[in-house]
């Protein structure tokens, strides 16, 4: 029996990288191809322990390069595509929106065209809760799969656009697909420009931790391992054409997250430095994952257990994030 072929785009990034590990370790009968352009946020050092496995291979390519992507799909005849590859840092999207449109919208369209040409069992598009816009501080209100898309940053607008393209390819061409929309992820191998790894690295180095505005913006935190399990379930059990929200029911203000890390590492809150709020900063995100839970998923990490594990991992793996901060990983 021939092996199933799985393409994971953006597998040198944070969530995609953890999902590569998850699939390579769990499914020996899947050939896993990790496709990544290796932009500034792409790091292959996280895959050293699996790079010699028979069921894993890395390909460097740009998802917006139609010729390269079509050639790869024609050669490999993938059964599944799990699409993570995206520019994802909101601050960078405010500075340079064009890069986000090219990668997140045009790149997704190239992948969809290539998938349609060869025929697929499933195209799974990994999106974000940020496409829904923002919620107020009413704790009884959550994003559901029926919430209208109202993105507020160039990043979330580009992701919403790619979501709509994926939906259109299902409706127009019958391409089997699912879309997952997740809340904020955290865990091992998170690029240290994002809140949790940035805070951990700053606190360990006794440096000031920047907090936007008053720090009261609320996010729903999801451990990346729980997210990987959710994607695996949707890939194999999700009803084609459906959207599934993935959330951890772990709402915290940004200031609470920073203080938790500082206290866990036994440091002083004097390290906190409030800075000017960023443009279009959404007040609150919170996801209702009931639909996914009915499919059979439950998060295994509370925020308390997850953040403790994450802080421990960053403390034990300082060599990894130090080479990211120094730029050594680019070599």
Per-residue pLDDT 10s for the chain (331 aa) are 578 999 999 999 999 999 999 999 999 999 999 999 998 778 888 999 999 999 999 999 999 999 999 999 999 999 999 999 998 777 788 888 999 999 999 999 999 999 999 999 999 999 999 999 999 999 999 999 999 999 999 999 999 999 999 999 999 999 999 999 999 999 999 988 789 999 999 999 999 999 999 999 999 999 999 999 999 999 999 999 999 999 988 999 999 999 999 999 999 999 999 999 888 788 899 999 999 999 999 999 999 999 999 999 999 999 888 988 887 766 6
Angle between helices 303-316 and 254-264 (to 10 degrees): 50
Residue 214, pLDDT score: 93
From the candidates 22, 56, 132, 155, give the one annotated as an active-site residue: 155
From the candidates 36, 129, 163, 282, give the one annotated as an active-site residue: 129
Structural tokens at position 114: 């290539």
From the candidates 130, 134, 226, 282, give the one annotated as an active-site residue: 130
For the chain, what's the residue count?
331
Q: Computed from CA positions of residues 51, 114, 74, 30, in that sequence, does the dihedral angle turn out positive or negative?
A: positive
For the sheet with 243-246, list strands across it. 56-60, 30-36, 4-9, 80-83, 122-128, 177-182, 243-246
Q: Please, are residues 19 and 84 in contact by the beta-carbon 8 Å criterion? A: yes
65 CB burial (10 A radius; 0-12, 13-18, 19+):
middle
Out of 3.40.50.720, 3.10.450.350, 3.40.50.1170, 1.20.120.420, select the CATH number for domain 4-189+221-247+284-302: 3.40.50.720
Q: What are phi and psi of 45, to 5 degrees?
A: -60, -25
Neighbours of 318 (CB within 10 A): 13
Residue 329, pLDDT score: 67
CA-wise closest residue to 61 among 82, 42, 35, 92: 35
Count CA atoms within 13 Å of residue 174 on its CB side: 3
Q: Computed from CA positions of residues 221, 224, 229, 233, in that sequence, does the dihedral angle turn out positive or negative?
A: positive
155 tagged catalytic? yes
Q: Please, are residues 158 and 102 in contact by the beta-carbon 8 Å criterion? A: no
Residues paired with 56 in a beta bridge: 32
Residue 1, pLDDT score: 57
Residue 169, pLDDT score: 98
Q: Please, are residues 235 and 81 in contact by the beta-carbon 8 Å criterion? A: no
Residue 6, pLDDT score: 98
| Domain boundaries, given as residue ranges, for the chain | 4-189+221-247+284-302
Per-residue CA distances from 329 to 14, 41, 46, 319, 321 (Å): 14, 10, 10, 11, 9
Q: Please, are residues 101 and 158 in contact by the beta-carbon 8 Å criterion? A: yes
Residue 87, pLDDT score: 86
36 tagged catalytic? no
Q: What are phi and psi of 193, to 5 degrees?
A: -100, -15
């Amino acid at each position: 029996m021939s092996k199933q072929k799985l393409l994971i785009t953006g597998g040198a990034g944070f969530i995609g990288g953890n999902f590569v590990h998850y699939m390579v370790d769990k499914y020996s009968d899947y050939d896993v191809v990790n496709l990544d352009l290796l932009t500034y946020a792409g790091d292959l050092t996280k895959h050293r322990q699996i790079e010699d496995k028979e069921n894993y291979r890395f390909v460097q390519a740009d998802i917006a390069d139609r010729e390269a992507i079509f050639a790869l799909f024609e050669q490999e005849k993938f059964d599944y595509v799990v699409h993570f590859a995206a520019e994802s840092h909101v601050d960078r999207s405010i500075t340079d929106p064009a890069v986000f449109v090219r990668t997140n919208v045009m790149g997704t369209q190239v992948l969809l065209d290539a998938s349609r040409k060869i025929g697929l069992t499933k195209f799974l598009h990994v999106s974000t809760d940020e496409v829904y816009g923002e919620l107020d501080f009413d704790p009884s209100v959550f994003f559901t799969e029926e919430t209208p898309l109202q993105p507020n940053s160039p990043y979330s607008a580009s992701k919403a656009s790619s979501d709509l393209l994926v939906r259109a390819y299902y409706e127009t061409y019958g391409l089997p697909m699912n879309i997952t929309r997740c809340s904020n992820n955290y865990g091992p191998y998170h690029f240290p420009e994002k809140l949790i790894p940035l805070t951990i690295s700053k606190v360990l180095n006794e440096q000031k931790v920047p907090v936007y505005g008053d720090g009261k913006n609320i996010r729903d935190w999801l451990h990346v391992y729980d997210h990987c399990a959710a994607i695996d379930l949707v890939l194999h059990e999700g009803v084609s054409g459906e959207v599934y929200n993935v959330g951890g029911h772990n709402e915290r203000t940004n200031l609470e997250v920073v203080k938790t890390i500082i206290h866990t590492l036994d440091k002083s809150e004097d390290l906190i430095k409030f800075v000017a709020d960023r443009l279009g900063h959404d007040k609150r995100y919170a996801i209702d994952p009931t639909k996914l839970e009915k499919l059979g998923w439950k998060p295994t990490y509370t925020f308390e257990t997850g953040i403790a594990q994450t802080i421990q991992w960053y403390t034990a793996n300082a060599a990894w994030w130090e080479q990211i901060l120094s730029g050594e990983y680019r070599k």
